[in-house]
Structure formats: structure tokens, C-alpha cells
Structure 1
Amino acid sequence: MKKIYIAVVLLSGLLACKKEDVKVYHGGDRVQFARQNAALPYVGSQDFSFAAKGSPESATIAFPVDITGRVASFDRDIRVEIIASETTAAKGVDFDFGKSVVKAGESKGTIELLLKKTSALDKEVKTVTFRIVSSEHFAPGIEKQLKRKVSFFNFMVKPSTWDTRMRTYFGEYSEMKHKFILYHLGIPEINITPSGSSVQDPEKYVYNVTSFIQFQNKLRSLLNDLNSKAITPDPADPFTYPLVYDEDGDDVDDPIAVTFP
């Protein structure tokens, strides 16, 4: 059974203080989901598509958490509960929880969500929503950062900004190209910032023009090398090269080459 593991990357800042003015926290130990970018609001929802991941049977998403309080000399478990009214997926069938822990000596930890690919996901979006609750070691932290929602499926969804803005960097849309982009960038989805804005939001998989130019150059060069056999595909690479698609889907009865501008 193939598996993939996705780490949600946390961009953290350094906390500076004077040695002679160290404050001791007395409010008890609390935990909340971390923010990827301190300049942006916390985002508690995301989409995940198995369709861009090759052929894994499951995927693990690790959500970073921060604590307020002391650093302990032992591992501390974090407790979560499912919000049934906002969940359509079934625990044990469509998903499970993995390790939810802050390790000894650490002020950060992770909550793992294991998603399972079922045949229902070929046509249906499943959703799981959960929140951090009180446990033996932690009380809930910042109210706005206690909840996560994940919608997952096994098909491609064309980004709404592809024809208006993303096409400049990636060219004509096809599901095959979309899958190639996400697989080789290692992200579950991609979109572009609004016109005139350069503020990225990686937690929502929104990137600015500078990043798109970098993606374009990387993907074009990579595809050319793979098509020409200048490099050998990774054993886990799900694509066949030269990379082509059919106008009616991903079949190759009337193949069209996948290209980047």
C-alpha cells in the first residue's frame, strides 16, 4: 500500500527578550493550531485532492501547533474531537487521527490526520472538521485557532483564476498539466494572488507573480528534461513521458503535448 506524507510548513519568527527581563508564564499550559504567517489571519480550512498524488491509498497531513506555557521534560498528548455537524466523512473508514503530541523539550508539536482514498471520492467531496479540546496536559488556547476543516476528494478542480491570470505562466489548462504541476511542486493545490497584490498565503496555496515565474521556469525545464530523457523519472513519478493528454480527458487517442510558455 503506497502512502504519502505531507508536512504543513510553518514559517516561524524568533522571539527576542532581554536576559534580565525574562517573564514567567503562570496561566497554565495551552495549545492551538499554529499560523504559517504572522502577517496573515489564521486559516482553518483546506482542500486535498488525491488525483494529483499518483496512486497513494492514504495521505497523512501534519498540522503544526504552538503552546503557551512551559516546556516539559516528557511528551504531552493533544486531544481533539470531531465536530459532527460539520463532518461528512466517517472515522475509521475515510479518515483517522495519527499522533497528536508535543514532544519533550519542545514548544511546538503536530496533530496528524490520516486520509483514506475510497472509491466514493471519485465523485464526492468528503469533509472532516475537528477542534482541540482540553486534555490531561493542555487547555484550549487561542479561540480562533482551535478548529480545522479538511475537504478531500479524488478528482481535479480547475482553479478559478487559471484563464484570467495563471494561463500567462502555465498556458492552456488540462487535468494532466494540473496534476503534473501539483505533483512536482509538492503541494495539494495552487492559485495566484489578486492583481496588484504580492502578499502570498501558502496556507491557502496562494502565490504571487514572482513565485509563478519561478514555478514556470522550473516546470518547463523539468518537463523538457523528462520528455527528452535527459533525466530519469523518480520511481514514484506517476506520469509517462513524453507527457501528453487528450482533449476529452487524460486518454491519449488523439494526443496533445503538455507544454509551458
Structure 2
Amino acid sequence: MKRITLTILLLPFLLCWLAGCSKSELTAYTQQGMVYFYRTAYGITNDSTTLSFAIKADTLVADTVWLDVRIMGEAAPKDRVVKLEAWADSTTAVEGVDYTFLPSVIKAGAFTARLPVLIKRNAGQKTRELRLLVRLGTSADFAPGALGMTSGQMPGATLKYLIKINDFLTKPANWESFLVYYFGAYSQVKYKLIIDATGRVEFLTSGADAVIGPTVAFYALQAQQLQAEMEAVNGPLLDENGNAITFPH
């Protein structure tokens, strides 16, 4: 009897719950597209890069920096526009004079893209390094994405990317972590000597033009040979600080 009574009492609530379920409809979850700069593990240009015209041909008047981005969510059946903008408070480069944002698009069906920023050469870059802090803005297709792991050398996401621009020799990003073991302490004069001796302006450890340790050791020998030839004519080769140029033995 108690079981029958309990059933009778619960029946109205059960009927109401079923009625509510019959009226509800499943709706698809949609989210605005998001995009972020992607950090690769152990990359030396994770958050920034330096474009130095000093290691480019004298006739070059502009060059392009490519920024890697990824989307959050699904790919779309159409091309979508990404908005790049300068973070004014942290940027000393002048738009139209030192840089121009070129059309930035993620192609239909794509999850990633490389977005171009045109960097322009001018006389002021010979004495002053400029900064262009690029950030992702909001376009009709994308909002800035959520941050991921950005500490240390972990891969993940970031919403800003620093481009440093100059027209004088600057220390390569991997000098202290790699090149120092073959070339020793950095100086502009030594770097120019290495470039003249080897014909190379970059010594990257990844990508199509990557170098390995034994190759860099050979480059160091080439630089020392050129140094000996120069010193035989002009005397000791000194760097910009007045120190003698030396290489590890």
C-alpha cells in the first residue's frame, strides 16, 4: 500500500518533468572565431624577432616579417580576415614610415596562417633600434584568443609579438645559447668578420638553412683565417670597445 501511495504522489511531478522535456529543443553551441600567435617549443623567435637591415643587401629597401597564428575552434568554408595592430604605448616605429600591415587572411579550411608585416628601411634605423609591438585586434571574423602556456620555452599562445628593427649589427638571438661556444664573446666587429669570411648572415639551428655544430666550427676557422690575413696587413683587429678579437680554442 505504501508503494502505491508513493507512486501516486510522484506521478504528477513525473508528468510535469516529461512535459518540460518534450518542449525543450537542443540548440547548437556557437562561438565567435578566435585567433592567437602560436609559440613553438624551443623556438628562438617565440615572442619576438629582430629584423636588421645591416645583414641584408644594401639595395634592399623593405623586407617582410611573418607571424604564425592559429585559430581556436573550427575552420571555416571561407577566407577570414585577421586584424593586426600596433600597441601604441610600446611601439616606437611609425606606421607607413617603418612598417605597414599587409592584408592578413586565414584561408578557407585552414587552422593556421603566416601573416605578413612589411618592414621599411630608412636612415634613422642606423643609429636607433625601433620597436613594433604587434597585437591581435578584433575583426569581423576573429576576436583575440585565450592565452595558453607562455612561460619559459613551453609552446602555447600569446596575443602580442615584438618586432625589433634596426640597420646595424645586433647579436643573433641564439648567440649566447649556441654560437658563443664556437665564436666566443659577441661584438659587432667580430660578427661582421664572420659574415665577411663565411658569406652567411644567419646561423639558425632549425629550418631549411639550419647549421650544426661541426659546420659552425668550420665557420669559426674561416673567420680566424680572414682575421690573420687582415692583421698581417693592418695590425691587431680590435672591436668597437677596443678589445682584441679572439675565438675559443
Task: Give secondary structure in 1 for the equivalent of 2:49.
Answer: strand
What is the Cα deviation at residue 60 of structure 1? 0.1
Counterpart-to-counterpart distance in 2, 1:106 and 1:27: 17
Residue of structure 2 equivalent to 1:109: 113
Residue of structure 2 equivalent to 1:213: 213
Structure with greater helix percent: 2
What is the Cα deviation at residue 43 of structure 1? 3.5
Q: Following superposition of structure 1 onto structure 2, how do residues 87-236 of structure 1 map, counting pairs within 5 Å?
A: 87-143=91-147, 145-158=158-171, 166-170=179-183, 174-179=190-195, 184=200, 186=202, 213-217=213-217, 219=219
Q: Match for 2:47: what amino acid?
A: G
Number of aligned residue pairs: 197
What TM-score, normalized by structure 2, do the two folds share? Answer: 0.62
Matched, 1:51 2:88: no
- Answer with 1 or 2: which has the greater Rg: 2
Q: Match for 1:74: what amino acid?
A: K
Counterpart-to-counterpart distance in 2, 1:139 and 1:120: 35
Whether the 8 Å contact between 1:58 and 1:115 is mirrored in structure 2 is yes
Counterpart-to-counterpart distance in 1, 2:170 and 2:44: 25
Counterpart-to-counterpart distance in 2, 1:113 and 1:220: 34
Counterpart-to-counterpart distance in 2, 1:40 and 1:154: 24
Superposed CA offset, 1:55-107 (max 9, x none): 22111011111011222222111012211111111100011112311112211
Q: Match for 1:122: what amino acid?
A: K
Task: Give secondary structure in 1 for the equivalent of 2:169.
Answer: coil
Residue of structure 1 equivalent to 2:19: none
Whether the 8 Å contact between 1:32 and 1:142 is mirrored in structure 2 is yes
Q: Residues 260 and 219 of structure 1: is their aligned pair in 2 closer, same or farther, counting only changes over 3 Å?
A: farther
What TM-score, normalized by structure 1, do the two folds share? Answer: 0.59
> Structure 2: which 5+ residue stretches go unaligned?
1-27, 148-156, 241-245
